[in-house]
Each structure stands twice: as structure tokens, then as C-alpha cells.
Amino acid sequence: MTRLVLSGAFAALGLWIASYLVRGLAFDGAGALVIAGLLLALANAFVRPIATILTLPITLLTLGLFLLVINAWMVSLVAWLLPGMTLSGFWAALFTAIVVSIVSWIGHAAIRPKVAGPTSR
């Protein structure tokens, strides 16, 4: 549960940054942004694994690049479900997904516990 809320917070931060960088992405307010982050975390936790398995052959053929399209679909799904989020098209969804992925990756890397390496004595 904590990981899902944390993923939602990083997704909301990524969506907020993307709303300034990506033309075609807009939110009606801060509440819509927070809800969009939580919905995106839920979509990535439950819908994305199913979509990834169903599209595995094309993902393998494109050497994993099709995962970007799946991420764009997740952003589009959230925009479709949430009336307070406006997304203009596929390219806006793709660039939004890239920004959210980078922000989430940095956020999770920053809070990941450091693993102690081997000590030399």
C-alpha cells in the first residue's frame, strides 16, 4: 500500500512537470493532478502488466520500445477516466509517459535503501 501511494506521488509529480513541458496536457486543478497520479499508479500496477503480457511478441520484435506505447496507453486511459485531465493526442501521451517515467525512476532511485557492499578488512 505504501509503495502504491509513493508511486502515485511520483506519478503526480511527473504529471505536474509534464504539464509544463508537454503541449497538449492540462489539468483543471491540483485535485485533478493528485487523482491522476493515483489513477496512473493503479493503472501501472494492475492494467500495465496485462497489456505487457498481451503485447509481448511486438515488444520483443521492437526490442522493448513498444513499452513506451504501453506507457502512453496508460496515460491515455487515465485521461479518459478523469474529466479534469485533458490530453490532446498520442504524441502528448507519449511525451507525458516519458517525463513521468523519468521522474518516477529518479524518485524511486533517490529513496531506495542503499545496499551495503562487501567490506574489505
- pLDDT at site 116: 63
Q: How far does the chain reach from its first CA to its final CA, in angstroms?
A: 40
Q: 58-73: b or e for each residue (b if 16 or more CB lie within 10 Å)?
A: ebeeeeeebbebbbbb
pLDDT in tens, 78-115: 999 999 999 999 999 999 999 999 999 999 898 887 76
CB atoms within 10 A of CB 112: 8
Which run of H or of E encompasses 6?
A: helix 2-21
pLDDT digits 0-9 by tens, 56-81? 999 999 999 999 999 999 999 999 99
Torsion of CA 63, 64, 70, 75, to 10 degrees: -130
pTM of the model: 0.87
Q: What is the pLDDT of residues 8-58, one digit of tens each?
A: 999 999 999 999 999 999 999 999 999 999 999 999 999 999 999 999 999
Q: What are phi and psi of 27, to 5 degrees?
A: -125, 150
Residue 1 pLDDT = 78
